[in-house]
Amino acid sequence: AIFSRFGNFDFQLSDTQNKKVLAIDEKNKGFVFIDFNSQPEDVHFVNLNDVSSVKAVPTTESHSSNVVKIEFEFQFKQNQKKQSIPFYTIERDQIGQVYLYEDRQLSKKWEALISQNISA
CA torsion, points 89, 91, 94, 99, in degrees to nearest 10?
20
* Mean pLDDT of the chain, nearest integer: 91
- The Cβ of residue 79 has, within 10 Å, a number of other Cβ atoms equal to 6
**Distance between CA 46 and CA 56 in Å, rounded?**
15
**Distance between CA 57 and CA 1 in Å, rounded?**
29
pTM of the predicted model as reported, rounded to 2 decimal places = 0.90
* Whole-number pLDDT of residue 65: 85
Residue 80 is given by DSSP the state -
Q: Residue 34, SS3?
A: strand
**Interval 66-92: pLDDT, tens:** 899 999 999 999 888 999 999 998 887
Are the C-beta atoms of residues 48 and 118 closer than 8 Å to each other?
yes
* Whole-number pLDDT of residue 120: 56
